[in-house]
């Protein structure tokens, strides 16, 4: 994995550079998938990395549903298309055509789909760290998604997060219990290449915002351009 790190990362040691390179080259993959299956030992490492994500109160609220059955994957794709067509009507005219040209579906292209869920009852009614922010179980599950994403990139595996779904329709398709909330449908597989930049940036949909526009000190009223001292 070769990549030029952003300014300020050129003096890191090799272990740090490996981590930062994985982080900065992570991509949301849609169209570069190869048909080759992910070896079981690689998949086991990816799921283990996801399972080692941080979770508030050590609640570990996630479950992982591997979706390999062609008929089930076709049903997932159909559910995605329903949401995709509905979403297109929500954009103003000047964005709608561009939205419809984007490659957003990878479920039938990738050799494996994976659903990550959050069991909202696993840790009981009172959970350390969740007493005042009950959504922390959801945020913890997203940490598992990020762990999986970085591990996949380190393994040379592409991953895409499909978020255009009706959650209730998805729950029925995968026969989830009522306490399981679907968080992510992911498509995973080997790829022929990784984008040099995020796909939406390459397509002109959005651009990376400057960190300086999002940086404050002590108060939202006190924006700062940098944390480095001149």
Q: How many residues does the chain have?
A: 230
Taking the model in full, what pTM does it have?
Answer: 0.93
Within 10 A of 2 (CB to CB), how many other CB atoms are there?
5
- Given this model, what pLDDT does residue 7 score? 84
Let me know: does 148 contact 50? Beta carbons within 8 Å.
yes
- Given this model, what pLDDT does residue 229 score? 62
Strand bridging mode 62-67 / 112-119: antiparallel
pLDDT digits (tens, 9 = 90+) for 110-128: 999 999 999 999 989 999 9
DSSP designation for 162: E
- Given this model, what pLDDT does residue 226 score? 84
d(CA 76, CA 22): 29
Beta carbons within 8 Å of 42's beta carbon, 6+ residues apart: 155, 157
Let me know: does 102 contact 205? Beta carbons within 8 Å.
yes
Three-state SS letters, 58-122: HCCCEEEEEECCHHHHHHHHHHHHHHHHHHHCCCCHHHHHHHHHCCCCCCCCCCEEEEEEEECCC
pLDDT < 70: residue spans in the chain:
1-3, 229-230
Within 10 A of 193 (CB to CB), how many other CB atoms are there?
9
Torsion 15-19-20-24 (CA) sign: positive
- Given this model, what pLDDT does residue 230 score? 54
- Domains of the chain and CATH, by start: 18-197+205-223 (3.40.109.10)
Let me know: does 38 contact 157? Beta carbons within 8 Å.
yes
Let me know: does 159 contact 129? Beta carbons within 8 Å.
no
Q: How far is CA 197 from the centre of its chain?
A: 16
- Given this model, what pLDDT does residue 225 score? 86
């Amino acid at each position: 994995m070769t990549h030029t790190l952003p300014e300020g990362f050129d003096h890191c040691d090799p272990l740090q550079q490996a981590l930062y390179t994985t982080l900065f080259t992570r991509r949301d993959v849609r169209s570069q998938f190869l048909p080759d299956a992910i070896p079981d030992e690689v998949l086991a490492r990816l799921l283990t990395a996801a399972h080692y994500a941080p979770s508030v109160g050590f609640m570990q609220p996630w479950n992982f549903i591997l979706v390999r059955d062609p008929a089930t994957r076709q049903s997932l794709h159909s559910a995605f298309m329903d949401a995709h067509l509905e979403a297109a009507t929500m954009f103003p005219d000047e964005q709608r055509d561009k939205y419809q040209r984007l490659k957003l579906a990878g479920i039938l292209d990738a050799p494996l789909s994976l659903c990550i869920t959050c069991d909202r009852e696993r840790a009981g009614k009172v959970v350390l760290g969740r007493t005042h922010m009950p959504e922390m179980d959801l945020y913890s599950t997203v940490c598992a998604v990020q762990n999986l994403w970085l591990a996949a990139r380190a393994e040379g595996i592409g991953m895409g997060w499909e978020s255009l779904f009706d959650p209730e329709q998805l729950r029925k398709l995968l026969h989830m219990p009522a306490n399981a909330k679907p968080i992510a449908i992911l498509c995973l597989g080997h790829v022929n290449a990784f984008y040099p930049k995020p796909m939406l940036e390459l397509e002109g949909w959005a651009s990376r915002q400057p960190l300086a526009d999002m940086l404050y000190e002590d108060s939202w009223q006190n924006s700062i351009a940098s944390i480095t001292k001149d």
